[in-house]
Every structure is written in C-alpha cells, then in structure tokens.
C-alpha cells in the first residue's frame, strides 16, 4: 500500500522519459490517460 499523488506520478514519468511526446498531443494528457487505463485494469486504485 503506497500512496502517491497523481501529479507526482506524472512528473516522475516525465522526468524518466517514460512517456513519448507525440506531435499535437499533450504529454500530460497522455499520462492522465495512462493512469485512467491502469485504474480501469485494477492495477492501481484511487486513494
């Protein structure tokens, strides 16, 4: 059980270049979609 704020997780992903920047698509929006996908697959849950 580890809690991390959504913004901090996104920041970590960006710092470690885990999210590719695509032309015309905001990387923060992409990161939020990744988090939503992980929650939908029950790999992480909202605190």
Q: Where are the domains of the chain?
A: 6-40
pLDDT given at position 47: 81
What b/e readout covers 5-44, taking b as 16+ CB neighbours within 10 angstroms? eeeeebeebeeeeeeeeeeeeeeeebbeeebeeeeeeeee
pLDDT at residue number 23:
85
> Which pLDDT score is estimated for 15?
94
In whole angstroms, what is the distance from residue 19 CA to residue 13 CA? 6
Average pLDDT by stretches of 10, the chain with 47 residues: 92 93 88 96 92
Angle, vertex CA 22, rays to CA 4 and CA 15, nearest 5: 35
- Return d(Cα 32, Cα 46) in angstroms, integer: 13
Give the pLDDT confidence score for residue 13 in this predicted structure: 95
């Amino acid at each position: 059980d580890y809690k991390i704020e959504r913004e901090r997780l996104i920041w970590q992903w960006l710092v470690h270049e885990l999210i590719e920047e695509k032309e015309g698509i905001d990387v923060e929006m992409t990161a939020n979609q990744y988090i939503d996908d992980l929650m939908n697959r029950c790999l992480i849950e909202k605190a």
